[in-house]
Amino acid sequence: MWFLGFILLLAKIGVVLGALLGLAAYLILVERKLLGRFQIRFGPNRAGPFGIWQPIADGIKMILKEDIIPADVDRTIFKYSPAVVATVAILIVAVIPFSSDVVLRGYDIPMVFSDLNVGLLYVLALSSLSVYGVALGGWASNSKYSLLGGIRGAAQMISYELPLGLSLVPVVMLAGSFSLVDIVNAQDKYPFVLVQPVAFLIFILSSIAEAKRLPFDLPEAENELNAGYHTEFSGMRFALYFIGEYVHMIVLGALVAVFFLGGWRGPLLPPVIWLLLKTFMVPFFLIWTRATLPRLRYDQLMHFGWKLLIPVALINIVVTGGVVLWIRS
């Protein structure tokens, strides 16, 4: 019966992966409709009632498109760099706790794929890996504009990983552990956003920059301005970049929920529903931001990351450390 645990793991993976990919595809539709409503227009509403078949129609269109690989690209890297982006975003879900332990027939089933005791480091490491997708995509395309877009994107993502990590250090200090399950369990009295508002803000801003959304949208906006790191990708490769980006948005929401908003904790509703509610506040905020704010120029972006967020995060760490020591003495 040793394999029952394995089968259970496969079942959990199947459910969550299916739900995640479905949610990512429909997040695209939700984004288009919400953007439309923010701009006093309808979003897509022709493909089905309220446009619900639109993601499926887009998927079919992407699959049927001609897969163009330009002549002088680095073929291996070109083929695999979209996969890096999507894979890394999906892998972060492995450490997110979905619910308190469910008891089934006397056995405790943990509602998390892998309760790593360094879960937070795993998350940060994966978001560092996602830089590869951008940089490799830009490099492999063998085009000047793609290269510039890839370089800028990689520089932006690397710069904003520092405030991302630094803003999570107070969370670790308060929870006493790197494991995400322990962090959620440490928020049983109050969510960490109440005691760490600065860290919450810095984390949200850095994650917007990591996700390459407006106003930190230069690697992609170069699509509109000149080119961008994913110009030369067509059809399903481009769809993979796109899905990877939207999975990244959802996963960011889940991370914000776990680190600052109390994870699956909440009074009345089932824990998974609370996690979903808290998770989808962040994509809503990201879409709202996209509808509202203009884009930051590249030097403004770098200035903001290095000269503003990092010092504030460091001061926050020092102050939190001091207060924690003072309380515990």
Partner 1 sequence: MFHKGVDLVRAGFEGVMGLACAYLVTFKHLFRKPITEQYPEYKRPLPTRSRARIILTRDPDGDERCVACYLCSAVCPVSCISMESAERGDGRRYARWFRINFARCIYCGFCEEACPTLAIQLTPDYEFCKRDMLSFVYEKEDLLVDHGGKDVEYNFYEHAGVVVKGDKGTHIEEAEPVNVKSNMP
288 near partner 1 (CB under 8 A): yes
Rounded CA-CA distance 211/74 in Å is 25
Percentages helix, strand, coil for the chain (3-state, rounded to 5) are: 70, 0, 30
Rounded CA-CA distance 238/196 in Å is 38
The enclosing H or E element of 231 equals none
Give the shortest CB-312-to-partner 1 separation in angstroms. Answer: 12
Contact 38, 108 (CB under 8 A): no
Q: How many residues bind partner 1 (CB under 8 A)?
A: 13
- Contacts of residue 153, defined as CB under 8 A and 6 or more positions apart, other chains included, come to 131, 134, 135, 138, 212, 218, 219, 229
Stretch that binds partner 1, among 99-107, 186-194, 232-240, 288-296 (CB under 8 A): 288-296
Stretch that binds partner 1, among 115-123, 126-134, 249-257, 283-291 (CB under 8 A): 283-291
Looking at the Cβ atoms of 35 and 195, the one nearer to partner 1 is 35
Looking at the Cβ atoms of 205 and 313, the one nearer to partner 1 is 205
Looking at the Cβ atoms of 168 and 313, the one nearer to partner 1 is 313
Looking at the Cβ atoms of 42 and 107, the one nearer to partner 1 is 42
Q: Phi/psi at 156 (nearest 5 deg)?
A: -65, -45
Fill in the DSSP letter of residue 189.
S
Looking at the Cβ atoms of 285 and 298, the one nearer to partner 1 is 285
Looking at the Cβ atoms of 145 and 280, the one nearer to partner 1 is 280
Per-residue DSSP letters for 70-129? -TTS-HHHHHHHHHHHHHHHHHGGGG---SSPEEETTEEE-SSS---TTHHHHHHHHHHH
Give the shortest CB-88-to-partner 1 separation in angstroms. Answer: 30
117 near partner 1 (CB under 8 A): no
Rounded CA-CA distance 248/228 in Å is 19
Give the shortest CB-288-to-partner 1 separation in angstroms. Answer: 6
Give the shortest CB-47-to-partner 1 separation in angstroms. Answer: 14
Between residue 11 and residue 70, which ones bind partner 1 under the rule CB under 8 A? 36-42, 45
Contact 118, 69 (CB under 8 A): no
The interface mask with partner 1, positions 290-319, x = CB under 8 A, is -xxx--------------------------
Fill in the DSSP letter of residue 51.
G
Give the shortest CB-208-to-partner 1 separation in angstroms. Answer: 13
Give the shortest CB-50-to-partner 1 separation in angstroms. Answer: 13
Give the shortest CB-34-to-partner 1 separation in angstroms. Answer: 8
Other Cβ atoms less than 10 A from the Cβ of 307: the count is 10
Looking at the Cβ atoms of 27 and 136, the one nearer to partner 1 is 27
Which residues of the chain form contacts with partner 1 (CB under 8 A)?
Answer: 36-42, 45, 288-289, 291-293
